[in-house]
Amino acid sequence: MQVRALILRAPGINRDRDAALACELAGASPERIHINQLAEGSVRLADYGMVLIPGGFSYGDHLGAGRLLAIDLVHRLGEALYRFVEDGRPVIGICNGFQVLVKAGLLPGCLAEPDCAPAVTLTDNASEQFECRWVTLEANPGTRCSFVRDLTCPIEVPVAHGEGRIALRDEATLALLEAQGLIALRYTTAMGDQAISYPANPNGSVGHIAGLCNAQGNVLGLMPHPENAILPQQHPRWTREEARDEGDGLLLFRNAVRYAAAL
């Protein structure tokens, strides 16, 4: 049976069509659903195999805008959303959608009991400017995220954000994230260098973190936009002689759909 993918729509989100195409090319059946349809009960979250919260400017283009959608999600859909996650079904938040997952408490989750105070936040880029360009990512070898483990080589995807820097509560938090396998993706170079700086790390995120997952491995949030790297023609170095059939970003969606189909 084909996986049904729910692409969340909400005020300000503007990457839902891109995300839907990525899911379709990856073999899923995407449906763009407004949050009001879920809250009113005309659409049930439980009827879908995966959920994707696209990027954009939910509820405004300013720092903290993701918090408003997160509050809306938790208030109106909290029980259904938490059950969806507990059932092991994949949830992906991209850019502003990543902010939503963090502010909703789904990422990275509790790092150490009994202290469940927020350990991670997203804030202004270290460059103090909007960053829009292509970057290179690699999957963290120790990640729990089931649908990035197959990314064995660096991939290239674009970023487009002004507040994508991951900041941590304290120095110990980075070690906890690493030890618990919650760092899913890191910024790197085409050669896989670990010691990088700006512009390879476009926002100054600590530990060069580009994406986080939860302890169960089925919730992924990332700042870069894989949905805008699904066709080879989207890459700035593409030529008619380019032999590749698809963009690097499609690998992530294929893995997520495959993971959802196996549940």
Residues with catalytic function: 95, 225, 227
Query: Cα dist. 262→2, 46, 146, 213, 217 in Å?
Result: 11, 16, 12, 19, 14
DSSP summary character for residue 218: -
| Dist CA 248 CA 235 (whole Å) | 9
Q: Which two tokens stand for residue 206?
A: 């600590």
Measured CA to CA, the distance from residue 33 to residue 25 in angstroms comes to 19
CB atoms within 10 A of CB 195: 7
Structural element, H or E, at residue 91? strand 91-94
Can you tell me whether residue 7 is helix, strand or coil? strand
Spatial distance between the Cα atoms of 41 and 220, rounded to a whole number of angstroms: 26
Token digits for 198? 């700006």
Residue written as token pair 């949030």: 221
* DSSP assignment of 220-236: EEESS-GGGSSSGGGST
